């Protein structure tokens, strides 16, 4: 499927953009021309050859803070997806094979999590357990787990009634063997689409939390935090919010484009 994605203009463009964003997340701090915490320059300077994106209200280089903030913003979104994946995919598949008790209980938990307002719940829980990055990412990861659960469960239901799977069970195959051998590769295309979509959603939620000051301690730079601070000085620098906003919008758009490309490629492969 990877080659099919790269053959499509939208797929190739999304992969290129996401590769650049991942590069910024990994190498951004090393590329930063100045210390992102050093307010040694004049405040609210405009773009120049010395400071490509100007300086902020404390005299810190904006480009350096944006590059450093890429790491926490992107890695934070990936942490959310990893937690949601672990808590949602396996239980979703097992809910089809472990009997009515597990199925009923897991569905009730998922229904409860879906009903919770994610942003409000994340703010409330982090206020109780601590305003740290790990705490905030874990809470958001739990809240996105239902999406993975539903996708994995739907994929498992599609193959649950297949004769070859029933034959495996009758021959004594364990649930774990059936899931690993017959269900996982069938669910992988749908799960990969969910990963791309939910990563974009997670980036928005993480940016929203850091915009509100949740999950990060000042002066730690993040895309959402930079956007929040820039909005307070629109009269002096009306263009300042464009830079972090553009990174968020372009990344989320690339993830959605990748999800659409994966979905189209999957449909074409079906008989």
d(CA 213, CA 160): 45
Paired tokens of 180: 């690993």
What pLDDT score was predicted for residue 5? 72
What pLDDT score was predicted for residue 217? 76
User: Between residues 267 and 107, which one has the greater pLDDT?
Assistant: 107
What pLDDT score was predicted for residue 270? 57
d(CA 267, CA 184): 18
Please check the confidence at residue 271 and state whether its pLDDT lies above 70.
no
User: Between residues 177 and 70, which one has the greater pLDDT?
Assistant: 70
Please check the confidence at residue 269 and state whether its pLDDT lies above 70.
no
Q: Are 131 and 217 in contact (CB under 8 A)?
A: yes
User: Between residues 178 and 111, which one has the greater pLDDT?
Assistant: 111
Rounded alpha-carbon distances, angstroms, from residue 217 to 85, 120, 224: 27, 19, 12
Q: Are 256 and 195 in contact (CB under 8 A)?
A: no
What pLDDT score was predicted for residue 1? 53
User: Between residues 251 and 229, which one has the greater pLDDT?
Assistant: 251
What pLDDT score was predicted for residue 253? 96
Please check the confidence at residue 71 and state whether its pLDDT lies above 70.
yes
What pLDDT score was predicted for residue 122? 77
User: Between residues 163 and 130, which one has the greater pLDDT?
Assistant: 163
Residue pLDDT, tens place only, 81-109: 999 999 999 999 989 888 899 999 999 99
d(CA 131, CA 135): 7
Among candidates 109, 189, 178, 196, which has minimal Cα distance to 155?
Answer: 189
Task: Read off the pLDDT band of 150 (50, 70, 90).
Answer: very high
What pLDDT score was predicted for residue 17? 95
What pLDDT score was predicted for residue 75? 92
Look up the domain containing 162 and give its range.
2-32+41-269
Total structural domains in the chain?
1
Residue pLDDT, tens place only, 190-222: 899 999 999 999 999 889 888 888 877 778 899
Say whether pTM exceeds 0.75. yes
The one-character DSSP state at 216 is -
Most confidently predicted of 33-42, 183-192, 219-228, 242-251: 242-251
What pLDDT score was predicted for residue 213? 83
Mean of the pLDDT values across residues 54-68? 93
What rounded mean pLDDT belongs to the chain? 87
User: Between residues 54 and 121, which one has the greater pLDDT?
Assistant: 54
CATH of the domain at 102: 1.10.3720.10
Mean of the pLDDT values across residues 139-164? 88
Paired tokens of 44: 């609210």
What pLDDT score was predicted for residue 2? 58
Paired tokens of 23: 């590069």
Mean of the pLDDT values across residues 114-130? 76
Share of the chain above pLDDT 90, in %: 48
Task: Read off the pLDDT band of 259 (50, 70, 90).
Answer: very high
97-133 burial by CB neighbour count: b if 16+ within 10 A, else e?
beeeeebeebbeebeebeeeebbebbbebbeeeebeb
């Amino acid at each position: 499927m990877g080659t099919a994605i790269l053959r499509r203009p939208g797929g190739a463009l999304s992969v290129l953009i996401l590769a650049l964003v991942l590069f910024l997340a990994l190498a951004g701090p090393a590329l930063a021309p100045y210390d992102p915490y050093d307010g040694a320059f004049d405040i609210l300077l405009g773009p120049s050859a010395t400071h490509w994106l100007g300086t902020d209200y404390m005299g810190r280089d904006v480009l350096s803070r944006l590059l450093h903030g890429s790491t926490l913003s992107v890695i934070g979104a990936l942490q959310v997806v990893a937690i949601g994946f672990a808590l949602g995919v396996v239980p979703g598949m097992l809910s089809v094979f472990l009997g009515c008790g597990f199925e009923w209980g897991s569905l009730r938990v998922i229904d409860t999590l879906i009903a919770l307002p994610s942003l409000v719940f994340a703010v409330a829980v982090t206020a109780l357990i601590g305003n740290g990055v790990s705490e905030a990412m874990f809470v958001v990861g739990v809240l996105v787990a239902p999406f993975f659960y539903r996708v994995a469960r739907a994929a498992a239901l599609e193959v649950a009634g297949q004769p070859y799977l029933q034959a495996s069970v009758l021959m004594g195959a364990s649930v774990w063997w059936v899931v690993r051998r017959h269900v996982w590769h069938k669910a992988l295309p749908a799960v990969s689409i969910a990963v791309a979509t939910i990563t974009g959603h997670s980036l928005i939620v993480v940016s929203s939390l850091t915009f509100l000051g949740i999950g990060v301690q000042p002066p730690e730079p993040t895309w959402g935090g930079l956007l929040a601070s820039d909005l307070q000085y629109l009269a002096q620098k009306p263009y300042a919010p464009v830079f972090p906003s553009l990174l968020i919008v372009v990344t989320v758009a690339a993830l959605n484009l990748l999800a659409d490309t994966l979905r189209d490629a999957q449909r074409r492969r079906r008989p």
